[in-house]
Structure formats: C-alpha cells, structure tokens
Amino acid sequence: MIKIILVVLVLSMESKISAQTAFSDQEKGDKRIEVASNGTIYVFNLSTSVLSRYSENGELKYSIGGQGFSDDRFDRPKSFHLSAGLTLLVCDTGNKRVVIYDRNLQKIGEINQESSPKLENWSPEFVVMNNVGQIWVCDSENQRIIQFDENGYLRFEVFLPEEIDVNSIDNFLLSQNYLWLIDESKHISYRFSNLGKYQLFMALPKDVKRVKSINRMIMGIQGHELVQIAENGTIVSTMKGIDFQKAEKKITGWSLMSKSLLIGTQSSFQLFPIK
C-alpha cells in the first residue's frame, strides 16, 4: 500500500511544463536525468562531462563540467545521484573522487584519496545517499562498496562476491529497504541489506531496461511501458498509455515529472503524458 501511495504522489506533482514539450540539449551525448521535487531538471551528459540544471519548463540555468582535472571539471565520469535533500553527487571516476554539490551546482564537498588511505587506488563508479546522509559508493577497482558518513569520512567497506562482475554493472540503486547492483546485460540484480551485506541475486523481469530508483521505488522500461519492480524482483505495477514507442530504443536516460515521463535521447528531451 505504501508503494502505491508513493506512485500517486509522484504522478500528481504540479508543474508548469507542458505535456509533450521537447527541447534540444546544447550538446549531444549519453545523458542521465534526475528531476527534483520542485521540478528542477538535472542532466549529466557523460559523453561531454557536463552537468546542467534546467528549470521545470526546460530553460537552461547553469552548467559545470567539461573534460579536466580541476574543480568543477570531470574525467570519465560514470554516474551521478540526486538525494532526497537535493544534494548531487558525481562519480568523477577518472579523477578518483566523488564530488558533492548543492541544488545550485555549487561544490560543497569531495571524497578522495586524501579522505582515507584506503581510497588511494579506488575507482568510484556509482554512488547513492540515503535519507540520513550516509553515502554508498561502488568501487570497481577493488570489487567493493564503501559507506561514508554525511561528512565524507569512510565508515566501513564490504567486498563483493566473486560472482559479481563490477565492470558489468549498469546502476547502483537504493530502494525502501535495500541496496541494489543492476547488471542489465546479464539481466540480473544483486540485492544487499542497508548495511551492505550481500543477500541474493535475482533475474530482472523480462525485457526490462534502464532500471533506476524513483523516490526509493525500483522502476524500469519494458518495451514502451513503465514498470515498478518489487523488492523481490517481480513487477507490481505497469503504467500503460504512455505513447513513447518511437523513442524507446533511443533512450539514454529518463525520469518522472508531474504526470509525464521525461525521456532523454542523444539530442533532445521529450515529455510523454501518463494517461
């Protein structure tokens, strides 16, 4: 029942953006999208290493990034995460750090090898933050996940079982009760407790791709439908009536926005109404 209520809340948020609005990105590339509760759109273009903030009607407000090694520049970034408190965390993998920004893309912190000697040879690829500010990072170089406190200090590390190929992982997610590593090429999800203890692996529902967490709910795209996946790996609901069939093979990132599905492709963003 709680999950159903959450879905209703997500889909009933008011927004000024019009249904089916499409707007072009300044640069083409492999995009990841997150939408804040106030309608602000955050787009991370992994191809160009640019992180951008858009208004809810698609107007570009601010961008940081580009290839480099200084503050607000990235080297081969792999992912980013928007927390419930509107903190953004970027896995700047090539620079071996996780950079933390506020909602306006102003830098407020960094986790790097100076934080702990255990991070000297790490490779941060995915990051999530829970509701009490604890940060989890998936380190592919050392086959582990690491928990940091809200100040970025390392608390503990958990080494992953040999059967998990970290280099094949597509996403690191946080649901209501668990942490998840998603391997879409093998169609498998690995589930961990909220303390990082490995519990089990499950087959993803058939043909589900682009799996991500929306308000702690695991969701994905199955064909041209949006589905919610329960914590036992089964589909619990399907949002039908979303006419994005022509775009489904071009999707690089997506998120929910008001009563619409916001989809990013290599060259644009499109809104599809949820009926």
Tokens of residue 19, six digits: 């249904």
Q: Which amino acid is at 4?
A: I
| Residue 128: C-alpha distances to residues 88, 179, 212, 260 (Å) | 10, 9, 11, 24
How much is the pLDDT for 148?
A: 95
d(CA 159, CA 15): 43
**Residue from 63, 44, 68 nearest 105 by CA:** 63
Hey, is 215 helix, strand or coil?
coil
Tokens of residue 82, six digits: 């928007």
For residues 226 and 219, is the Cβ–Cβ distance under 8 A?
Answer: yes
pLDDT in tens, 82-137: 998 889 999 999 999 999 999 999 999 999 988 888 898 999 999 999 989 999 99
Percent of the chain with pLDDT over 70: 88
How much is the pLDDT for 239?
A: 79
Torsion of CA 34, 38, 41, 42, to 10 degrees: -60
Tokens of residue 93, six digits: 């993998």
What is the band of 13 on the pLDDT scale with cuts at 50, 70, 90? very low
How much is the pLDDT for 204?
A: 93
pLDDT in tens, 191-241: 999 899 999 999 999 889 999 999 899 999 988 888 999 999 999 988 776
Cα-trace Rg, the chain: 18
d(CA 209, CA 219): 9
Residues 6+ away with beta carbon under 8 Å from 237: 3, 4, 7, 227, 228
All structural domains of the chain, each given as residue ranges with its CATH number in brackets, are: 2-273 (2.120.10.30)
How much is the pLDDT for 238?
A: 86
For residues 43 and 65, is the Cβ–Cβ distance under 8 A?
Answer: no
- Residue 68 predicted with pLDDT over 80: yes
